[in-house]
Amino acid sequence: MRPSTEAAACDPVTLEIVRGAIRSAQAEMEALIERTAISAFIREKKDFYTGLFDAAGVLAVGSNVPIFGDITGPVFRDFPPETMRPGDLYWYNDCYGSEGAVSHSNDQVLLAPVFRAERRCGFVMAWAHFADIGGLRAGSISPDATDIYQEGIIVPPTRLIEAGRTNEAVLTLFHRNSRFPAQSLGDMRALMASVDLGVRRVGEILDRFGPEVVADALGQLLARTRERVRERLSRTFAHGTHRFTDAIDTDGHGNGPFRIRLALTRSRGPDGADRFALDASETDDQAPGPVNFLMNPSIPGMALGLYYLGGDPTQVCNAGGPQALDAVTLREGSLLRPRFPAPLGMRGLTMMRVLAALNGLINVAGGGAPAAHSAYVIILLRGSVRREPAGPPEPFLLSDGIGVGYGARPEADGIDAVYFVAQENYPVEFLEAGYPVRLRRYGIAADSGGAGRRRGGCGIVREYEILADEAVLAVRIDSVANPPWGLAGGRAGGSGRAVVNPGTPGERLLAPLSDGNRLARGDVLRIETGGGGGHGHPFDREPEAVLEDVLGGFVSREAAQRHYGVALAGDALDAAATAALRADRPPTRAFHRHEYVDALA
């Protein structure tokens, strides 16, 4: 039986049906992007997100990715909601103009209103990383960048479609700035189709349940998330101020380290209610290089919300997380609030370290968050290749994001070989079919996971043999000087590195954040990615689990003995030798990075 569209409130059963329906609509939008996009970073890497918003533009359900800022606000400033009409579509990638709603220029946002009976009832959004939008280097992202103008075309909030009529001129201008316009065109069509599908699916939900019921359902879901996150914050953080500091190594221009300093204060407001305020104002100044992270104030609450909601099937990712924090303070001119036109292209390093620092805040307060993770590694291999011996050289761009290890948890090992949330590593077959490379090796990087009672997740080893006549490589690796910290006796995760022609007289180690590295046909590029920190004293790990790790290639025999105090005799445990090793138990402190310390500075 269809619920009455005259109902003023959504009952609990209908609430769960609406929740499932909007989540299904969002998932269908994502599936359409994945199946119709052209560029590998969207289609194979799955670097795209979708979201549904209420009539006021508040996020009602989004992908489980903690980098959403205020998506609708930038559009509303130039196009007030009351002026919008059915069939409109809005577009932007302006990082500074959106105050970090998008945090590097490759990310394109499309937003459309949903109407029923001339009533604005919501919005749908699709967002994806485009492979090349112009700029200093192919791929639009380079460690060499010194301002955002070198990172591609900037699109302020623009009405791309007005009442069903597409502004083809602005699309032509955008695609003309790409070195790979066919990819750009195909990806834009995929995003536009996804938004169109979302408008139709949300319209069907509105037709079924009525605008009043849907609006009330979204409001209830928002309040449920906000209350759940605030309740968990209250359980984690005692009254007072809790602090944590983490760091990224460099900006690629000889500067660094850059420290991220977070403080979360729980206080009592004038009305007697708890107040939670996050302060990042003591973070170091912005960098000359492109590692600045223009962090929208919504992002810390979104990240904390996703942590606290993890594993709860009754919840959805929405603006309730950001609303759980009463204040977020950022300092103009800092690494997290850089001044225009500071470059932002490699902000992923800093973003990943911010997420680890939020875990650190929780752990300082006595919570059970994971140890630190590595930042996913990016390489951009640019060059030309002849598809036929007598044919013309054709340009290629291989943007490969490579997974890393995530931090161990109090109750479980860290996750191995993860790129970021639900995104994926490129398969070998795809790489070899699409690019002038041959994969000689692809597997787990042994000993990259931090030792602990619960082992940190391990990173990846990839070896590419170059089949192009020549190519230029940009590489982005962090956490070499400041590896991911271990917790409660767990050791730090391992660091990544990039090596050309390993094990030969011509072996050379590349700077971990660098561009302009020239490669020739026959060269071998080895990328090793870092692992996550361990949790708990390594001598408390079950010897059988250490043996399993050794046999599986995650831990070397040497590390089993040195870090875990486990001796092996062939492929079996040596119980007597293990007992002797573990009798000499090394002391530990709260955190580990190179050495055991009580606080990271």
Amino acid making up residue 395? P
520 contacts 469 by C-beta, under 8 angstroms? yes
Q: Burial of 129 by CB count in 10 Å (0-12 exposed, 13-18 middle, 19+ buried)?
A: buried
Distance CA 25, CA 206 (A): 12
Question: Does residue 293 form part of some domain?
Answer: no
Dihedral pair phi/psi, residue 394, rounded to 5°:
-115, 135
532 contacts 372 by C-beta, under 8 angstroms? yes
Question: Does residue 492 form part of some domain?
Answer: yes
Q: Which of 157, 189, 222 is the last residue of a domain?
A: 222
Distance CA 116, CA 137 (A): 45
Concatenating the DSSP letter of every residue in 116-156 gives ETTEEEEEEEEEEE-S---SSSTTS--TT--SGGGG-----
Q: What is the pLDDT of residue 1?
A: 38
Instruction: Using alpha carbons, select from 311, 312, 307 the residue that is nearest to residue 324.
Output: 307
Distance CA 601, CA 588 (A): 17
The two structure tokens encoding residue 363: 């752990």
124 contacts 114 by C-beta, under 8 angstroms? yes
Using DSSP, state whether 557 is helix, strand or coil: helix
H/E stretch holding 33: helix 12-36
Q: What percent of the chain has pLDDT over 70?
A: 98
What tens digit of pLDDT does each residue of 17-39 get? 999 999 999 999 999 999 999 99
What tens digit of pLDDT does each residue of 114-133 get? 999 889 999 999 999 999 99
Q: What is the pLDDT of residue 241?
A: 98
Distance CA 588, CA 535 (A): 12
130 contacts 108 by C-beta, under 8 angstroms? yes
Using DSSP, state whether 220 is helix, strand or coil: helix
State the pTM of this model.
Answer: 0.95
What tens digit of pLDDT does each residue of 372-416 get? 999 999 999 999 998 888 888 899 999 999 999 999 999 999 999
Question: Does residue 255 form part of some domain?
Answer: no
Mean pLDDT, range 78-107, rounded to an integer: 96
174 pLDDT more than 80: yes
Number of Cβ within a 10 Å radius of residue 155: 20
Question: Would you give the DSSP letter of residue 340?
Answer: T
Q: Which of 222, 256, 282 is the last residue of a domain?
A: 222
8 pLDDT more than 60: no
Domain count across the chain: 2
347 contacts 69 by C-beta, under 8 angstroms? no
Distance CA 121, CA 115 (A): 5
Contacts of 443 (CB under 8 A, 6+ apart): 460, 461, 553
Q: Which of 172, 206, 222 is the last residue of a domain?
A: 222
What tens digit of pLDDT does each residue of 438-473 get? 999 999 999 999 999 999 999 999 999 999 988 999
Residue 218 belongs to what domain range?
Answer: 6-222
Question: Does residue 324 form part of some domain?
Answer: no
Question: Does residue 117 form part of some domain?
Answer: yes
Distance CA 335, CA 340 (A): 12
Q: What is the CA radius of gyration of the chain?
A: 25
Distance CA 295, CA 337 (A): 6
Question: Does residue 197 form part of some domain?
Answer: yes
Question: Does residue 311 form part of some domain?
Answer: no
Distance CA 417, CA 411 (A): 19
Q: What is the pLDDT of residue 290?
A: 98
238 pLDDT more than 50: yes
Report the chain's mean pLDDT, rounded to a whole number.
95
Using DSSP, state whether 575 is helix, strand or coil: helix
211-236 and 299-309 helices, crossing angle to 10°: 80
Quickly tell me which residue has 């400041």 as its tokens.
482
What tens digit of pLDDT does each residue of 519-534 get? 999 999 999 999 999 9
Distance CA 281, CA 334 (A): 8
H/E stretch holding 245: strand 240-248
Question: Does residue 441 form part of some domain?
Answer: yes
What tens digit of pLDDT does each residue of 53-73 get? 999 999 998 877 656 678 999
Distance CA 374, CA 198 (A): 34
